[in-house]
Copies of this chain bind each other. A is one copy, B any other.
Amino acid sequence: MEKHYTIGQFKKMSGLTARTLQYYDEIGILTAQRTEGGHRYYLESHVHTLQKIVSLKFLGFSLEETADFINKDSWNEKDSLIFQRDMMEKKREQLNDSIRLLNLAIEQIETGGALHTDIFISMINNVHMEKSHKRWFAAFMPEPRINALFDRLKSEQETIEKKSMHLFSRLKEAIGIDPTSSEVGKLVAELMEFAMEIVGDELPLLEQIPAADLEEDPWLFPYPFTPEEEQWLKQAVNHYMEKEGIQIGKN
C-alpha cells in the first residue's frame, strides 16, 4: 500500500504552509487526493511534483511558468531558460547598484559625516538615469565617444562615487565660511582637479555645452546644492579662478 500524507504531515515535510498547498491545489498545479470526508491527502508522486515546483520557483519562475514546465517532462528548450537567466541578471545588476549606493551612504555616516540628502539623491539619480543621460549627451557628442566616456567612468564608478560623496559633503559643510579663505580655496582646488579627472580628454567638447541646458532640466540633472548654496559656491570658484588665473567654465 502506498504511503499517504495528510496535509499536516505534508506541510511539515515540505516546510510550506497549509494555505500554500491549498492554493496550489486551487490553481491546479498540485491537485491533492481527497478522503470521503473531503480532507486532502498526498502520495509519493505529489512529493515529486512539489519538488519540481519549489525548484522552479527557486530559479525565479512564476507559478504559471512552473505549471508549463511540469506538464512537459523534458526541459530541453533553452529559450525560456536563457530568457529567465537574462531577467535574473538584470535584477542582479539593479541590486548591485542599490547595494553599492547604500554602502556609500552607510560609510558616509560611519566615518562621522552627515548624510546630505540632496547629494545622495543626485548620486542615486546619476546611476538611475544613466540611459537618459546618454541620450541627452547624444546631442553634443558622437555616440562612440559617449560610450567611451561612460565606460571609463563606469570602470572606476565606486571610487568616483566615494570621492564625490566625500568632497561634496565637505563643500556643503563649508557653506557660510568666507569664500576667499584658504580653507575653502583648498576644497575648490580639489573640486577642480576632480572635475578634470572626470572629464578627461573630453574637456573641449564638454565645455561647449551651455550650462543653462543642464540646469534647465531639473528632473534629469538634480543639483546637489540649493540656489543659495550655489551662489556661495560660485563666489568661491570665481575667487579661486582669479587667483590661479585660469579661465574655464564651471559645471
Contact = CB atoms under 8 A, between A and B. Distances in A.
Contacts of A99: 85, 88-89, 92
A84 B120 CA distance: 16
Nearest to A70: B117
A177 interface: no
Given A75-B120, A85-B106, A121-B52, A98 B219 contact: no
Contacts of A82: 106
A192 interface: no
Contacts of A114: 74, 76
Contact of A128 (B54, B97, B117, B128): B54
B102 A91 contact: no
Interface of A: 13-15, 44, 47-48, 51-52, 54-55, 58-60, 73-76, 78, 81-82, 84-85, 88-89, 91-92, 95-99, 101-103, 105-106, 109-110, 114-115, 117, 120-121, 124-125, 127-128, 132, 218-219, 222
The 9 closest A-B pairs by CB, nearest first: A55-B124, A85-B102, A92-B95, A78-B109, A59-B98, A13-B219, A58-B128, A55-B121, A88-B99
Contact of A124 (B59, B85, B97): B59
B91 A222 contact: no
Contacts of A127: 58
A110 B79 CA distance: 11
Contacts of A58: 97-98, 101, 124, 127-128
Given A78-B110, A114-B76, A51 B222 contact: yes
Contacts of A92: 92, 95-96, 99
Given A95-B88, A95-B91, A109 B76 contact: yes
Given A76-B109, A128-B58, A95 B95 contact: yes
A14 B125 CA distance: 12
Contact of A219 (B47, B95, B109, B219): B47
10 contacts: A13-B219, A15-B132, A47-B219, A55-B120, A55-B124, A58-B128, A60-B95, A76-B115, A84-B102, A88-B102
A78 B128 CA distance: 22
Contacts of A96: 92
Given A74-B115, A76-B109, A106-B82, A51 B88 contact: no
